[in-house]
């Protein structure tokens, strides 16, 4: 029970602080037990970035574990500062970021390169959040380029797992069965059809990725794809002093050419993150109509500012290959579904998201849990990437309006997914060139969107009617 209660139909209570609305657990919202249970399992996804820190930044495990605590603090900021989204990474951008990091030696060079990228992402979010230009900028970007980037990021994520020498070679059973079960619970139409009539299915759905992840881990241990855990008792002891050796204060700041090289990847990361914001707010608006007891504010500028704060914190204190994103789609969808069940199920949208990540931060200190999941961290990351690939390809395809856009987006996607650190630059350039040469009805002069109707898909009856009327 929270100390400050919400009046029916009003916003959840808060303390105003500039552009932010501060809400604290136990004071402004109650702790939700289902989210506590999820947090005790799903925090492992946050730990799953450790293998990437070890591989691409050349960090030892103890220092990488310290980085996850910095990330954990960042995860609790959105609900605390007035953002009704469950935050996570810019997950679809991970393959793109890794392609960028492939151009640098693990260690100081890669750390400086990641700092340059993350500080640029910080500035993009900060400037667009302060000026309110975010939505205007994304409207200017051609639809085919935006969709191609999203689809390409999904393809790159999937190919990273399925390529020769990828995770599918080393751990086929846990990856395949975990992906199938997770996808079935999250996306299957047949599973959704039985939710109302089957209480067990409804309980399983409440936990989102948890069932698939747990089954994948059990299979991995059972068939010997992962070593059995050596469980230790006590409190985790991340090496914060060693962590300091892997920050730019120790390695030095990057040269200007590194900042220039990071610009395309930073722009792509922002475009993907903005798509996450739209998805998250769409889910919020849908459930806001279902419940009239709470008014949910969706402030896109505040999302930008909080995301900028998190990325800036990472850049200086824990460079993060996954970047800090505004939405963890699977976790937010799970929270939204429970919120839609009514106030008894979840008091506030902030109590769901806030409880989830506060529990995740606490779980990082529980040594038995950390050592239990340590051998299977790769499968947690793999499942996240596979599910992200599905969502990216699905959302990217849905946004394309005609065959011309689909063609351009396909070329952008394939170019982006190429295993080349410069593929992000090529993808953006090719996408813009093809947009002007192929999509625009008028190569020169002012572009009239109404002219695009003439060149729409032949199968579009409305387009055919409009074309006939013009003729």
* pLDDT above 70 coverage of the chain, percent: 92
Report residue 262's pLDDT band, with 50, 70 and 90 as the boundaries: very high
CA nearest to 58, candidates 105, 99, 102: 105
Bridge partners of residue 22, in order along the sequence: 15
pLDDT tens readout for residues 357-380: 999 999 999 999 989 988 888 888
Instruction: Please give the pLDDT value at position 444.
Output: 63
Token readout for 132 is 């309110």
Instruction: Please give the pLDDT value at position 67.
Output: 95
pLDDT tens readout for residues 62-85: 999 999 999 999 999 999 999 999
* pLDDT above 90 coverage of the chain, percent: 35
429 or 381, which is more confident?
429
How far apart CA 315 and CA 318 sit, in angstroms, is 6
H/E element holding 20?
Answer: strand 20-22
DSSP 343-402: TTT-S-HHHHHHHHHHHHHHHTTBHHHHHHHGGGHHHHHHHHHHHHHHHHHHHHHHT--S
Tell me what the mean pLDDT of segment 94-113 comes to.
90
Whether 384 contacts 173, CB under 8 Å: no
pLDDT tens readout for residues 125-182: 999 999 888 767 667 778 888 888 888 878 887 887 887 777 788 888 898 999 899 8
Instruction: Please give the pLDDT value at position 448.
Output: 57
Domain residue ranges of the chain, discontinuous segments joined by +? 24-171+226-230+242-439, 172-225
Instruction: Please give the pLDDT value at position 125.
Output: 95
Token readout for 353 is 């998201």
Tell me what the mean pLDDT of segment 89-108 comes to.
88
Tell me what the mean pLDDT of segment 24-36 comes to.
89
Instruction: Please give the pLDDT value at position 445.
Output: 61
Token readout for 280 is 């998250």
Owner of token pair 């340590």: 374
Orientation angle between helical segments 61-81 and 33-47, nearest 10 degrees:
140
Tell me what the mean pLDDT of segment 86-99 comes to.
87
Write down how long the chain is: 471
Tell me what the mean pLDDT of segment 387-416 comes to.
86
Tell me what the mean pLDDT of segment 34-48 comes to.
86
433 or 456, which is more confident?
433
Sign of the CA dihedral 143, 146, 147, 148? Answer: positive
Most confident range, picked from 143-157, 240-254, 261-275, 384-398: 240-254
How far apart CA 68 and CA 75 sit, in angstroms, is 10
Residue 333 has pLDDT above 70, yes or no: yes
How far apart CA 422 and CA 70 sit, in angstroms, is 30
Instruction: Please give the pLDDT value at position 329.
Output: 76
Bridge partners of residue 325, in order along the sequence: 88
Tell me what the mean pLDDT of segment 326-351 comes to.
85
Tell me what the mean pLDDT of segment 191-196 comes to.
81
117 or 204, which is more confident?
117
CA nearest to 274, candidates 380, 366, 147: 147
Whether 64 contacts 389, CB under 8 Å: no
Residue 27 has pLDDT above 50, yes or no: yes
């Amino acid at each position: 029970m929270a100390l400050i209660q919400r009046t029916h139909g009003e916003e959840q209570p808060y303390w105003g602080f500039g552009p932010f609305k501060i809400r604290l657990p136990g004071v402004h919202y109650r702790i939700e037990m289902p989210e506590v249970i999820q947090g005790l399992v799903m925090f492992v996804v946050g730990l799953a970035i450790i293998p990437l820190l070890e591989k691409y930044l050349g960090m030892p495990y103890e220092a990488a574990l310290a980085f996850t605590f910095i990330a954990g603090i960042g995860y609790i900021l959105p609900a605390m500062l007035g953002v009704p989204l469950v935050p996570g990474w810019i997950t679809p951008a991970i393959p793109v970021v890794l392609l960028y990091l492939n151009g640098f030696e693990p260690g100081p060079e890669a750390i400086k390169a990641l700092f340059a990228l993350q500080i640029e992402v910080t500035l993009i979010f900060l400037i667009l959040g302060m000026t309110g230009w975010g939505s205007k900028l994304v409207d200017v970007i051609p639809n085919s380029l935006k969709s191609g980037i999203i689809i390409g990021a999904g393809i790159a994520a999937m190919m990273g797992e399925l390529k020769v020498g990828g995770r599918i070679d080393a751990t086929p059973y846990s990856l395949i069965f975990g992906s199938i079960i997770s996808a079935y619970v999250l996306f299957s139409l047949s599973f959704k059809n039985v939710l109302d009539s089957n209480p067990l299915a409804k309980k399983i759905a409440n936990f989102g990725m948890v069932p698939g992840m747990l089954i994948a881990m059990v299979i991995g241990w059972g068939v010997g794809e992962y070593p059995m855990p050596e469980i230790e008792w006590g409190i985790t002891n991340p090496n914060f002093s060693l962590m300091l050796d892997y920050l730019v204060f120790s390695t030095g700041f990057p040269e200007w050419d590194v900042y220039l090289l990071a610009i395309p990847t930073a722009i792509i990361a922002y475009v993907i993150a903005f798509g996450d914001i739209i998805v998250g707010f769409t889910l919020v608006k849908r459930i806001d109509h279902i419940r009239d007891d709470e008014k949910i504010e969706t402030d896109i500028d505040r999302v930008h500012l909080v995301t900028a704060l998190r990325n800036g914190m990472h850049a200086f204190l824990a460079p993060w290959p996954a970047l800090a994103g505004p939405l963890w789609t699977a976790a937010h969808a799970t929270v939204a579904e429970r919120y839609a069940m009514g106030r008894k199920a979840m008091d506030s949208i902030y109590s769901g998201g806030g409880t989830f990540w506060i529990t995740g931060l606490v779980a990082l200190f529980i040594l038995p849990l950390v050592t239990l999941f340590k051998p299977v961290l790769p499968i947690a990351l793999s499942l996240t990437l596979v599910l992200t690939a599905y969502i990216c390809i699905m959302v990217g395809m849905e946004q394309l309006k005609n065959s011309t856009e689909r063609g351009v987006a396909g070329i952008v996607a394939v170019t982006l997914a190429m295993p080349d650190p410069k593929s992000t630059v090529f993808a953006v350039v090719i996408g813009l060139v093809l947009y002007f040469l192929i999509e625009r009805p008028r190569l020169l002069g002012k572009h009239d969107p109404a002219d695009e109707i003439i060149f729409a898909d032949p199968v579009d009856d409305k387009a055919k009617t409009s074309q006939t009327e013009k003729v």
